[in-house]
């Protein structure tokens, strides 16, 4: 659903590119380190319920509280790449773990993100999250 508005190429705001690109419904595609997108279709209560039914609810709760405080957001991280969803997955990590785990989905979907995180924890990838150290889930290096 790409359109032309006042002679400028525009896209709906839900389309996010791999690095630096985001849009709003009436704005030109830009490269900005301050861009972010929040998906408000999931409530905190829904996310809490999903986590409660995961294989690692205490660990995932700590990660979600630290990473996003239950806000389903895509934002540019300190390395210049987007981190997406309640567990702040970057595209390269998601793609690599998707191939390894067979989990297909989207990190902006909390169900998919929680499933991937369960898999990651079970395969000793908890150290992937800086928040695992910040929250004390892992001892600081």
| CATH tag for 38-134 (out of 3.40.50.300, 3.90.1150.10, 1.10.530.10, 3.30.1490.20) | 1.10.530.10
Average pLDDT of the residues in 13-20: 38
What is the spatial distance between Cα 78 and Cα 103, in angstroms, rounded to a whole number?
A: 27
pLDDT in tens, 64-112: 999 999 999 999 988 899 999 999 999 999 999 999 999 999 999 999 9
Question: Which pLDDT value is given to residue 35?
Answer: 65
Query: Would you place residue 31 in the very low, low, confident or very high pLDDT band (cuts 50, 70, 90)?
Result: very low
Question: Which pLDDT value is given to residue 38?
Answer: 83
- Count of Cβ atoms closer than 10 Å to residue 87 Cβ: 25
User: With 80 as the cut, is the pLDDT of residue 28 above it?
Assistant: no
DSSP string covering 67-134, please? Answer: HTTT--EEEE-TTSSEEETTTTEEHHHHHHHHHHH---S-TTSHHHHHHHHHHHHHTT-GGGSTHHHH
pLDDT in tens, 32-52: 445 678 888 999 999 999 999
User: Which burial class, exposed, middle or buried, applies to 107 when counting CB atoms under 10 A from its CB (0-12, 13-18, 19+)?
Assistant: buried
Question: Which pLDDT value is given to residue 106?
Answer: 95
DSSP letter for 2, please: -
- Count of Cβ atoms closer than 10 Å to residue 62 Cβ: 18
> What residue ranges do the domains of the chain occupy?
1-32, 38-134
DSSP letter for 20, please: S
Question: Which pLDDT value is given to residue 62?
Answer: 98
Question: Which pLDDT value is given to residue 69?
Answer: 97
User: Of 102, 78, 104, which Cα lies nearest the Cα of 90?
Assistant: 78
Using a cut of 0.85, tell me whether the model's pTM lies above it. no
């Amino acid at each position: 659903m790409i359109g032309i508005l006042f002679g400028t190429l525009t896209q709906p705001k839900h389309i996010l590119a791999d690095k630096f690109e985001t849009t709003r419904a009436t704005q030109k595609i830009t490269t900005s380190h301050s861009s972010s997108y929040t998906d408000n279709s999931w409530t905190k209560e829904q996310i809490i319920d999903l986590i409660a039914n995961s294989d690692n609810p205490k660990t995932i709760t700590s990660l979600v509280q630290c990473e996003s405080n239950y806000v389903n957001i895509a934002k540019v991280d300190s390395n210049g790449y987007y981190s997406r969803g309640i567990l702040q997955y970057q595209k390269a990590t998601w793609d690599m773990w998707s191939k390894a785990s067979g989990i297909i989905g989207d990190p902006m979907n909390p169900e998919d993100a929680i499933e991937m995180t369960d898999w990651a924890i079970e395969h000793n990838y908890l150290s992937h999250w800086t928040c695992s150290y910040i929250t004390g889930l892992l001892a600081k290096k």
